[in-house]
Chains A and B, each alone.
Chain A
Amino acid sequence: MNTVDFLNLLVSALLLAGVYAAMSVGMTVIYGVMKIVNLAHAGFLMLGAYFVFEVNERLHLDPLLGVLLAFPVFYFIGITLHWLMVRRIPRSDQPTLSSLLLLFGLWLVLQNLGYMIWGNSDRAILTPRTFSTMQIGPIIFPTVRLVVFGAAVFSLAALEFVLHKTWFGRAVRVLMQNPDAGRIVGVNVDRTARIAFGVGIAFAGTAGGMLAMMYSFTPDFGGSFMLRAFVIIVLGGLESFSGVAIGAVILALVETFSILVIPSGYQPAVAFSLLVVALVVLPNGVAGLWNKRQRWA
């Protein structure tokens, strides 16, 4: 492999990391605050994809505008679902069986709802941007992936800003670190959890919209992405947003470059081997390793 091929592959891996980070943020927000593993995440990715598809087909709006619109729409859906179902789940500082089952059931309901509304055809969004590329020297950047990468970086940066510079962000962080202490200092736990769930679903919906610009989809869409999101949040540390970015980069690099030495048919095995290794060697993820180093320093 020559240098140009290596650089093209590296760019592909980094852009793929953007896709992976975008789809994992929502899951991390919800887990961090509520200790709920959102097994319905794939369902919201799928709904986000169809939302942007419909906005493009019916209103003839640019898919990127659809992605922006998806955020408030899915925030509202998240808040409503929280009010209807999630707030009734018994509180716990660990994921509970009831929350897992409820959200898994919700995923199945969303899938079947998708089949009822849109049928089983493969849908995709085709715009002039779909095949366009930017070229810097011999390095090729597919425009859509570049846009998704930018959106992922913006999402993570905005989230970091909100977490560190706003009252809501501080409330979220205290609930992630020590919920009891949060209650003592006057954090409104229910309100913070409701908003966090809404934000998590909003991120899932927008991520689904972004994925729709790259992949075809059916109501079955999202499952393989959700499995990768698990790998990423375990790699990054279950409650760390910067860890999501690191986890996404690691997974994308390993998946992309491993193909050079092993057949691409084993790509999923690589991802899940990474999950096993992370759970055994880095149970708190890369973020945990970083925190430990800082303590030693």
Chain B
Amino acid sequence: MANTSVYGLRKEKWSLLSLVLIGAAVLVPTGRGKAAPSGDEIRIGVVLPITGSEAKAGQYQREGIELAIKQINDSGGILVKEKGKKLPVKEIFYDDGSDQAKSAGLVERTMTTDDVVAVLGGYSTALGEAESVMPDRYQTPWISPGAGAAHIYSRGYQYVFGTLSPIDSLGYTTAEFLGTLVDQGKLKKNLGIALALENTDHGIEYGAGVERWTKDHPGYLHVVFSEKFELHGTDYSGLLLKVKNSKADIFLADAHLPDYITMERQYIQSGMYHQMISYGARGPDADARKALGDATNYIFAGLWWSKKLPYPQVKKFVAEYQAFTGHEPDSYYPAPAYDAMRALAAAIEKAGKLDKTAIRDALRNVELKDSLLPGQVLRFGKNGQLNVPFVIVQNKPDDKADIVYPKDAANGEAVAPRPQK
């Protein structure tokens, strides 16, 4: 009786059935699998999370890449001198499900079996880090539009590139912005900062950036508290109590979206107040504003890109993106992905052939002068990572968000200190 059900099926059959069920669930969202052998086309592997915890960002980045590919193909493709003609771009897409091991495995798979000339992938530092060991192993250029941690690019890899500026610069720019508020007399000198950092390389580098600026500019701001927290936490009351007891004037956290929402809710409930608050790169996200309502007002964020940047190419991109996807680019995610694909196309054209090492060499020298990103010029650094300025955006009432720093890109004044209710 213990080994058979009332229907007479044995345990082993049920185990097998269960395994099939799991297999089906795991395999369904994986992607298109191996495509037909290439002919007159340029194959690009794309590995991004469309399911799992990073799905939203991955979806936006995929849309950015696919818009760039569509525009390239609509103009006839990429000119490859060796072939004497323009070739269309063929995307080979895989969903890594926000899983590090799967992400690395899929990059390896596309580099070894799909006949791709380059791979775009790795949204989030964690997934990008997992993928980054593959490019040099298979001598295939890899551009990450979503991994910003500098240490990925500091290991001497030769085929690794990234279109996100270092996280350290995010922290540095955040502190620099606060410094300008001190210069303007909006904030007093020598205010204390409390740092709550996600327990990842992203959080560590953000904190390092803030501390670096405060050390470079003594007398402006100083860090009075710094602690890491685990992502997807269920309760931040203990951490917030420590922040409160640190008597800091400014609260800077580096968090993912769900943690931003949970932490800010508990922050409000506990009746805390700081003159300025930031959650790193989170702030104007539409989902957060829906979840938190007016509580997001005056929170500021450091972003890699904003649709409000006053460049003509940004306005054009926003319109084209909306027409292509049916929704606005309400976060920074699609822009670095769009530019990553355009930089790759420019490098392939410059290389004049589909040789991966030649494309890698061309990527090192490629320069996009109409980049969407702050500064408008995309040029990879010696380590393969882009290093362009960040923009600081501050939420305002009625779902508005203004660029408040740097000055040449600003379309609104920074409100500091935050109004106290």
Q: State the A residues within 8 Å of B (CB).
A: 1, 5, 8-9, 12-13, 16, 19, 87-93, 96-98, 100-102, 104-106, 108-109, 111-112, 115, 120-124, 126, 130-131, 133, 140, 142, 190, 214-220, 224-225, 228, 252, 255-257, 259-260, 263-268
Contacts and interface: CB of A to CB of B under 8 A. Distances in A.
A102 B29 contact: no
Contacts of B232: 224
B86 interface: no
Contacts of A87: 5-6
Given A133-B271, A215-B262, A109 B25 contact: yes
B235 A102 contact: no
Given A9-B241, A122-B258, A122-B291, A102 B14 contact: yes
Given A218-B53, A265-B228, A124 B5 contact: no
B239 interface: yes
Most buried by A among B5, B228, B234: B234
B32 interface: no
B230 A131 contact: no
Contact of A8 (B7, B25, B26, B241): B241
Determine the interface band of chain B, counting residues with CB < 8 A from chain A: 35 or more
A260 B238 contact: yes
B15 A264 contact: no
Contact of A90 (B11, B51, B288): B11
B45 to A, nearest CB: 22
B261 A122 contact: yes
Contacts of A224: 232, 234
Nearest to B268: A131
Contacts of A122: 56, 257-258, 261, 287-288, 291
Most buried by A among B5, B53, B239, B269: B269
Given A108-B26, A124-B261, A220 B53 contact: yes
A115 B55 contact: yes
Interface of B: 1-7, 9-11, 14-15, 17-19, 21-22, 24-26, 28-29, 50-53, 55-56, 59, 98, 199, 227-230, 232-239, 241-242, 245, 257-258, 261-262, 265-266, 268-271, 287-288, 290-293, 295
Q: Which 4 A-B pairs have the closest CB atoms?
A: A259-B238, A120-B55, A124-B291, A101-B18
A1 B245 contact: yes
A214 B265 contact: yes
Contacts of B53: 218, 220
B373 to A, nearest CB: 25
Nearest to B23: A105
Given A88-B14, A98-B11, A256-B237, A112 B25 contact: yes
Nearest to A103: B18
Nearest to B288: A122
Contact of B290 (A89, A126, A215): A126
Contacts of B25: 105, 108-109, 111-112
Identify whether the interface residues of B are mostly helix, strand, loop, or mixed. helix
A195 B365 CA distance: 68
Contact of B230 (A217, A260, A264): A264
B46 to A, nearest CB: 17
A215 B261 contact: yes
A220 B52 contact: yes
A131 to B, nearest CB: 5
Given A101-B15, A133-B271, A216-B262, A123 B287 contact: yes
B197 to A, nearest CB: 8
Contacts of A102: 14, 17-18, 21
A9 B237 contact: yes
Contacts of B290: 123-124, 126
Nearest to A124: B291
A89 B5 contact: yes
A94 to B, nearest CB: 9
Nearest to B203: A265
Contacts of A96: 11
B92 to A, nearest CB: 21
Nearest to A107: B25
Most buried by B among A16, A19, A101, A217: A101
A92 B2 CA distance: 5
Nearest to B261: A216
Given A88-B7, A101-B19, A120-B55, A225 B234 contact: yes
15 contacts: A1-B241, A19-B234, A88-B5, A102-B21, A120-B51, A133-B269, A140-B270, A220-B55, A259-B239, A264-B230, A264-B233, A264-B239, A265-B228, A265-B230, A267-B230
A168 B227 CA distance: 51
A267 B269 CA distance: 21
A131 B385 CA distance: 41
Given A90-B4, A122-B56, A265-B228, A131 B265 contact: yes
Contacts of B265: 130-131, 214
A115 B230 contact: no
A268 to B, nearest CB: 5
B321 to A, nearest CB: 17
